[in-house]
Amino acid sequence: MKVINAYFVIEDEVNGERILKTLEKYGRTCYKSETKITVDSAKKLIANIMKNQHESVIEHEKVTVRVICDRGVTHEIVRHRIGSYSQESTRYCDYTKAGEILVIEPIFWKTDDPKYLIWKTTMEYLEARYNELIRLGATPQEARSVLPNSLKTEIVITFNLREWRHFFKLRCSKKAHPQMREVAVPLLAEFKKLIPVIFDDIIIEP
């Protein structure tokens, strides 16, 4: 068994300036003001669109992100209805072929905490039982019954920018699950750097 931390990979080559110019072009259709497009007019227009909550315009652009996390977190992610998902399948993946299962470290316990030790020994026990089931002829989709929520999984997520805003507002909140925030907070920080204006108003709570 190997314990790893959650992380993400932005799959698209995100060019924030290009995104704003594209959205400006589409947004100005509403006002028939295309003649007002200049080299630096996109940021101002998109800022006004966001201020006026005319967020349907930003649905025209999307970003795809690969998230490596535990299965409990993905159960929350896929509750976002407006999105496309491709996820590692425990029905078809035989984890004995890799020699070990990967589990996501619970960030809310230190490694010397008795609760962490209970978690770790439980993960090791479940890994052994999974391997035993496969050896006895169980299929991966049958043996997965003993796999834990902490099992590492990968999920590829595609949201339009409006849905990313909704995702960050919910999943970066201090009320969100700590392991959801482990992914969502740094991802929002990256979006803020990559795409001007659109995510500026979403505050990252400490």
Residue 171 is a catalytic residue: yes
The structure tokens listed for 170 are 């919910």
* Catalytic-labelled residue, pool 28, 71, 144, 171: 171
In the chain, the N- to C-terminal Cα span, in Å, equals 32
| Pair type for strands 102-104 and 84-87 | unpaired
Report d(CA 4, CA 102) in Å as an integer: 7
Report d(CA 85, CA 27) in Å as an integer: 28
The structure tokens listed for 24 are 């400006």
Q: Are 66 and 155 in contact (CB under 8 A)?
A: yes
Q: Is the dihedral of CA 110, 115, 118, 119 positive or negative?
A: negative
Q: Which residues are catalytic?
A: 171
